[in-house]
């Protein structure tokens, strides 16, 4: 068994869609990034890559490559899943947390789980997604950005 940890944070800006777990969430701001800036999926990608000792998201999908401009992070997750399979590993479970003061995302979590579980060919029950706030503190508490943490177990 191997464990991987992932973290990502992106700045909130106007005129961008807010995508978390591959789900578009209605909000007046979105996350700034080279891709769709989906911090949840990015943290899961880094956790998977870390568990399999395959580097990090920036090594595989550099932000200076045009092919990744605006790309769905779910597409990147598929590519990482194929790398994981090539190494002979499979995912046991994922535990993740989104850190955001607003918007409230609880009602979107089932769709996020469906997206992630489908790509990684695991049961939705093996994908935990939680949400919390920083109670007005820090980057997400001041609504400057949204962060996500993830832990993955592979064998």
Structural domains in the chain? 2-154 (3.30.1330.50)
pTM: 0.97
Q: Give per-residue burial for 136-154: e unless 16+ CB within 10 Å, then b.
A: eeebbeeeebbbbbbbbbb
pLDDT tens across the length of the chain (155 residues): 999 999 999 999 999 999 999 999 999 999 999 999 999 999 999 999 999 999 999 999 998 999 999 999 999 999 999 999 999 999 999 999 999 999 999 999 999 999 999 999 999 999 999 999 999 889 988 899 999 999 999 99
Spatial CA neighbour of 4 closest among 45, 64, 40, 39: 45
């Amino acid at each position: 068994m191997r464990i991987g940890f992932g973290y990502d944070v992106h700045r909130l800006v106007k005129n961008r869609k807010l995508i978390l777990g591959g789900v578009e969430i209605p909000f007046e701001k979105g996350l700034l990034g080279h891709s769709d800036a989906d911090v949840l999926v990015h943290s899961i990608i880094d956790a998977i890559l870390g568990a399999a000792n395959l580097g990090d998201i920036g090594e595989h999908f550099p932000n200076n490559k045009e092919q990744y401009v605006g790309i769905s992070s779910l597409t990147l997750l598929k590519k990482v899943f194929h790398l994981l399979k090539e190494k002979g590993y499979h995912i046991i479970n994922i535990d993740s947390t989104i850190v955001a003061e607003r918007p409230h995302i609880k009602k979107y979590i089932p769709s996020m789980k469906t997206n992630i579980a489908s790509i990684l060919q695991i049961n939705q029950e093996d994908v935990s997604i939680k949400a919390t706030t920083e109670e007005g503190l820090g980057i997400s508490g001041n609504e400057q950005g949204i962060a996500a943490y993830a832990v993955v177990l592979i064998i």
